[in-house]
Structure 1
Amino acid sequence: MLFLRVALISLLIALNTVLHVLPLLLVALIKALMPSKRLRLACNTALTGLAESWIGVNSSMWDRFTRTRLHVREDAAPAPDGHYLVLANHQSWVDILVLQKLFNRRAPFMRFFLKQQLFWVPLLGLAWWALDFPFMRRYTPKQIARRPELAGRDIEATRRACEKFSEIPVSIMNFVEGTRFTASKHASQSSPYRHLLKPKSGGVAFVLDAMGQGLDAILDVSIAYPAGSPSLLDLLADRVPEVRVRVRRRAIPAELLRGDYQNDREFRVRFQQWMNGLWSEKDADMTALLAGDAQS
């Protein structure tokens, strides 16, 4: 019975994906052929509408096929035409579905920085490309040591993406820990936080440098699973009783909007201190959420 349930829901998700991605790719092709910027921006509206429809159907299936309860408290509702940087902790691939269900059609369409390898995911890779998701290629310290010019390429890729985002309403998503939380990663880092890995500040700093003046606020999202971190299979199998979420709207400190994070050590230390303070507050929010105090 469980196998049939998971197979049916997976089939419906796949069908929903095909039905939305194929017209999305057609609109992306039309956009590429448009002679004027105004017409290309009009195509962006159609592309975003298709993406939001895809997420909306997926969220409806969440409501229809699972008993998972989503408990949310947020400081203020985001504006659909705003510009936000969304920061969240990361425990599971379910986090992405939670964020999409939470913000779809309530905040600007969310875009993630993706690893370059994800471009080759069937259908979805092309869809992410058509929606201007930035693909990032990470270089190892050894590669940078051999070719120092590689060190700045991720910064330039971030800057190019942010230039596009400045023209449209957008929520730029960043999982600041850089990887999913596990007990072994937490121990190997000697993380000072109870529920979180150490934050990586570089990506946030690059986004604020590139378009900080154009951002309305930071949406700081804490996601907690009282029954333990779930897999996608757990969600499809209806084994996730509830998800608790706290959304804090944070102003962006003016002194952090301009600075050379890569080369100015003093600025980098200040930025990391601010990030660590934010993460300490998030850790306290996680403690409260897991204890059942969703109203904290």
Structure 2
Amino acid sequence: MRVSLPGWLRAALVLPLVVLNTLVHAVPLLAVALAKAVLPFGAVRRACNAALSRLAESWIGVNGWMFDRFTPTRVVADLPGGLRADGHYLVLANHQSWVDILVLQKVFNRRIPLLRFFLKRQLFWVPVLGLAWWALDFPFMGRYTHRQIARNPELGRRDMEATRRACMKFRDMPVSIMNFVEGTRFTPEKHARQDSPYRHLLKPRSGGVAFVLSAMGEGLQAVLDVSIAYPAGRPTMADLMAGRVPEARVLVRERPVPADLAAGDYQHDRPFRARFQQWMNGLWEQKDGDIERLLGGDGPRDQ
């Protein structure tokens, strides 16, 4: 049963509850992370990894329960059958808002392994959450621009090495590696500046996806191709907490890991890079059509 409240009161109530939920889960999470760090034995690390994932899933579950009760937002989703909580997935999605992350967590929580994002290194310093992300083995990246890497190629190699180390860890645990392929949130200004050929998307950035597939291709079970749409318009987090997001729609397509693209040198092999970009562009063309249909009313079922 949802609680009906004015928008300002709803936001004033939900935000402290989210903070409280974060603190309640962060304390035991950091304690388990400390045990994992000081007792680096295989069996202990595996037990700690499982406990850390359960704590994160509990935090996500409580957040989802609160948003169900205190906001009018409906999340409707079309999911493939056979998803596994102990699987290994690469999750690719379009990106419009920070709300996307809460929507993805709600849709996938306990259906697939905990979503792990590649984060900007500066986010490590976010109070409480930065340490929690570190404890959960979220990879922290420099996220340098093409211009910065052109001036100093060593910066690009640092990010590739961070990705490689993360993928080596992920081989030994159930994992869902999350990648917002556009590299940034969609805005009309960015869309115009790119002269993007898609109606609802920015151009995909393939390098990170290629590197993850190269590092983990044989260990990945599938690619989950996610399209997110908001029929009422792109929301902010404040919109969500104030109850101004009536609906989020999600379509998930499960795709096989392309064997011919799971191993290759994206950086130096031009024919391979061209094939990989062609594959990504094909996904993005279909995603653009999927989002058009989601916005037009062909919504999936309730979650």
Identify the TM-score tier after normalising by the shorter chain: over 0.9
Matched, 1:293 2:274: no
Distance 1:197 1:163, change over 3 A: same
Q: What is the CA–CA distance in structure 2 between the aligned matches of 1:36 and 1:266, rounded to whole Å?
A: 43
- What fraction of aligned residue pairs are identical, expressed as a percent? 69
Structure 1-normalised TM-score? 0.97
- Secondary structure at 1:260 match in 2: coil
Matched, 1:276 2:271: no
Q: What is the CA–CA distance in structure 2 between the aligned matches of 1:44 and 1:53, rounded to whole Å?
A: 14
The answer (yes or no) to whether the contact 2:250–2:300 under 8 Å persists in 1 is no
Distance 1:97 1:278, change over 3 A: same
Matches within 5 A, 1:179-194: 179-194=184-199
Alignment RMSD: 1.4
Deviation at 1:145, TM superposition (A): 4.3
The residue number in structure 2 matching 1:171 is 176
1:152-209 CA distances to partner (integer Å, 9 max, x unpaired)? 1111110100000010000000000000001111011000000000000001001000
Matches within 5 A, 1:245-284: 245-284=250-289
The answer (yes or no) to whether the contact 1:2–1:237 under 8 Å persists in 2 is yes
Distance 1:194 1:38, change over 3 A: same
The residue number in structure 2 matching 1:7 is 12
Deviation at 1:150, TM superposition (A): 2.7
Runs of at least 5 residues in structure 1 that lack an aligned partner in the other structure = none
The residue number in structure 2 matching 1:94 is 99
Q: What is the CA–CA distance in structure 2 between the aligned matches of 1:15 and 1:218, rounded to whole Å?
A: 34
The residue number in structure 2 matching 1:130 is 135
Distance 1:141 1:287, change over 3 A: closer
- Which deviates more, 116-125 or 145-154? 145-154
Matches within 5 A, 1:12-161: 12-161=17-166
The answer (yes or no) to whether the contact 1:76–1:249 under 8 Å persists in 2 is no
Q: Number of residue pairs matched?
A: 296
- Secondary structure at 2:90 match in 1: strand
Runs of at least 5 residues in structure 2 that lack an aligned partner in the other structure = 1-5
What amino acid sits opposite 2:220 in the alignment? L
- Secondary structure at 2:95 match in 1: coil
The answer (yes or no) to whether the contact 2:113–2:175 under 8 Å persists in 1 is yes
Deviation at 1:41, TM superposition (A): 1.0
Deviation at 1:143, TM superposition (A): 4.1
Structure 2-normalised TM-score? 0.95
